[in-house]
Amino acid sequence: MKRKAFCVECGREIDSGIFCLDHKPSAPLKPLLLKKTETGKYFHRNKWSQFSSDEEALGVLVKETNKDASFVRIEEDHVVLTREGEEFRVPLEIEKLNDPALEKLGTNYFEGILQLRNATNEVLDFVHEKVAAARHRGVGINKIVEEGNGANLYFTKKSYLPRLGQALIRKFGGQMKSSPQLFSVDKQSGKNLYRLNVYVELPLFSVGDVLAIKNAVYQIRRTAKLLYGVKLATGKTHTFPYEGLEAEKLKKQRLPVATTQPEVTVIDPENLDSVVVKNAEGEFLIGKKVKVVVFNKEAWLVR
């Protein structure tokens, strides 16, 4: 059975040693100063460092300032250390610093422009979500200028623009072009300084839309670097580049079935003509409405 231990100063029961934490003699351990920002960056050894938590940062700091001690835990404005089996409280000061990466947010400063065209509210929401997630790296939008069917967004970090442009293309499709623009010369080094313009033109259609391309009808299944569409005549998937694409967006309509034999037909409301449903399969009821598009005097069932 383990023998009980008591603090020689106050008599409180303790796990080990001869003093409780409140009555241990002051130890020759150096107080700790932790310098950090609200974004989770730490200033250590005269440079910015990245630690996963205060505990990790203090563990490193303790080893450098009190080499014979080990970090145990944080207690309010103290740090508990252990040395030779004894625990000690060491004063802790946390100095709040401004993150230099955020200093240019909310100013007129910009390094690049994201030129969005055919941008919907969904696209703009996507951009703002991405920018908010990268704010700790100094990424921000300092100005937005509406431009006809889109907007120009002025970014603090030009290095972020290509990545954001590619993310937009992967999610919404379209085409992207980048062009650096000389705007100044560094007075000290003599180097040219460039801003970056990234142009993203988004498609005027989205997944589920039906397009007429080269006299054939396709329903869009995916938008990415290429346009993926299912040809309704064959059921096969085809890909198309956005640049130079000539496509007509067809209107989806719910039209009543006019006949089922010898062919399934619907009534075209524009001219009241009966048009054949080219991809009709299975049983149909006269008068029941079906979702179709009409193109070149032919109807196609769509989802």
**Which of 33, 66, 97 is the last residue before a domain boundary?**
97
Total domain count, the chain: 4
In this structure, the answer to whether residues 9 and 34 fall within a common structural domain is yes
Question: Which of 293, 271, 269, 153 has its CA nearest to residue 218?
Answer: 293
- What domain range includes position 125? 102-201
What does the pLDDT read at residue 137?
84
| Tokens found for residue 117 | 């065209």
CA distance 116 to 60: 45
Q: Has residue 1 got a pLDDT over 70? A: no
In this structure, the answer to whether residues 135 and 192 fall within a common structural domain is yes
Mean pLDDT of 245-268: 92
**Which of 201, 235, 269 is the last residue before a domain boundary?**
201
In this structure, the answer to whether residues 78 and 146 fall within a common structural domain is no
Task: Please list, residue by residue across 93-124, b when 16 or more beta carbons sit within 10 angstroms of its beta carbon and e when fewer do.
Answer: eeeeeebebbebeeeeebbbbbbbbbbeeebe
What does the pLDDT read at residue 108?
92
**Which of 201, 224, 242 is the last residue before a domain boundary?**
201
Dmax over CA atoms of the chain, in Å, equals: 105
| Tokens found for residue 255 | 């039209």
In this structure, the answer to whether residues 119 and 184 fall within a common structural domain is yes
Q: Has residue 92 got a pLDDT over 60? A: yes
What does the pLDDT read at residue 213?
95
What band does 290 get if pLDDT is binned at 50, 70 and 90?
Answer: very high
Q: Has residue 83 got a pLDDT over 90? A: no
In this structure, the answer to whether residues 88 and 160 fall within a common structural domain is no
CATH number at residue 273: 2.40.50.140
CATH number at residue 235: 2.30.30
What does the pLDDT read at residue 28?
66
Q: What is the mean pLDDT of the chain?
A: 88
What does the pLDDT read at residue 185?
67
CA 229 from centre of chain: 27
What does the pLDDT read at residue 232?
95
Q: Has residue 277 got a pLDDT over 90? A: yes
Share of the chain above pLDDT 90, in %: 51
What is the DSSP-derived secondary structure letter of residue 198?
E
Most confident of 61-65, 108-112, 126-130, 188-192: 126-130
In this structure, the answer to whether residues 244 and 256 fall within a common structural domain is no
Q: Has residue 191 got a pLDDT over 90? A: no
Q: Has residue 231 got a pLDDT over 90? A: yes
